[in-house]
Amino acid sequence: MCRHLAYLGPPVTLASLVLDPGHSIYEQSWAPADMRGGGSVNADGFGLGWYPEGDAAVSGGPVRYRRNVPIWTDENLPGLAGSIRSGAVVAAIRNGTVNMPYGQAAVAPFMLGDWLFSHNGRIPGWPESTLKLAERLPVADLLEMDAPVDSALLWALITNRLAEGIPPADAVAAVVQEVEAAAPGSRLNVLLTDGEQLIATTWTHSLHTRRTADSLTVSSEPFGPGKWNEVPDRSLLVATATTLHITPMEGPE
Ligand code: GLN
């Protein structure tokens, strides 16, 4: 299973989240501690998404840096990550599911408008198990998917609901339910943020939270200093930098 993290709070360098701490996501790429049977290394690419601060925030939306190489091979990353500061960050490292395509376009975070999205998990029976769900999407949404990969379809299902004006937490919860109903045994651990609010799920994998007075970090695996709390499986997390609500998710009807 892939690893991912999100941060909301005062601006920090990307390196202080992704590279520098003990057991950072950088280290988790070759030495993850809790893969739960889903692969052994996260070497099929990595992605960083962040919301630029101040003058750099020209377009207002997030900026993304994705590569299709193991994170430890990118010699430009330490310099970039050490010099970019942001108050809202998503990072992911990929362990591609067997039979899913390889390449930069399949690596999280996925992005649309103000939103960044990451998925840790898999949809069993892909793609047959999802055909009925995919059929309901506008053809344009399917053609615009970054890659023919389960994570990108999940993202298309969620963005379709966001476009209908459904609140993000409801959109995520509904898509988890319908995908689980179509493909029982799905692993649907997602992160979704617009830089202000964060929605996350635990659906058969781990997520941990670390709070300070003015920040929230969530991560598949704890890293660095501070006190981490494990989010129970099958939870919906709705948060900002200073608020955190975790509620149980029901199974599909
Ligand atoms: N199934 C997704 C992919 O292939 C996510 C993989 C994962 O969580 N290990 O990219």
Residue-range domains of the chain with CATH: 3-248 (3.60.20.10)
List the catalytic residue out of 2, 18, 92, 172.
Answer: 2
> 33: pLDDT confidence band, cut at 50, 70 and 90?
confident
Ligand 1 nearest-atom number relative to CA 151: 2
Interval 111-141: pLDDT, tens: 999 999 999 999 999 999 999 999 999 999 9
Ligand 1 center–CA 134 separation, angstroms: 18
Distance (Å, rounded) from C-alpha 29 to C-alpha 163?
A: 34
Q: What does the alpha-carbon distance between residue 201 and residue 208 come to, in Å, rounded to a whole number?
A: 11
Q: Give the angle subtended at the CA of 194 by the CAs of 249 and 62, to the nearest 5°.
A: 140
pLDDT for residue 57: 66
Residue 58's pLDDT is 63
CA angle 108, 102, 36 (to 5 degrees): 65
Greater model confidence, 247 or 252: 247
Q: Whose CA is nearest to atom 9 of ligand 1?
A: 1
Residue 83 pLDDT: 96
Q: Is the peptide bond before 232 cis (omega within 30 degrees of 0)?
A: no
Q: Which atom of ligand 1 is nearest to the CA of 126?
A: 1
Query: How far apart are the CA of 213 and the centre of ligand 1, in A?
Result: 33
Burial (0-12, 13-18, 19+ Cβ within 10 Å), 10: exposed
The answer, yes or no, to whether residue 59 has pLDDT greater than 90, is: no
Q: Give, for ligand 1, the residue of 119, 129, 190 to mutate: max count of ligand atoms closer than 8 Å to Cβ.
A: 119
**Entry pTM:** 0.96
Residue 191, pLDDT > 80, answer: yes
Residue whose CB lies within 8 A of the most ligand 1 atoms, among 1, 66, 94, 146, for a mutation test: 94
- 147-161: average pLDDT: 98
Least confident segment among 28-32, 87-91, 182-186: 28-32
Q: Is 86 tagged catalytic?
A: no
Q: Would you say residue 35 has pLDDT above 70?
A: no
Distance between CA 211 and CA 140 in Å, rounded? 40
Which among 195, 191, 162 is positioned nearest to 61, based on CA atoms?
195
CA of 126 to the centre of ligand 1 (A): 12
pLDDT given at position 41: 84
87 lines ligand 1 (CB under 6 A): no
Helix (H, G, I), strand (E, B) or coil at 127: coil
Confidence class of residue 87 from pLDDT cuts 50, 70 and 90? very high
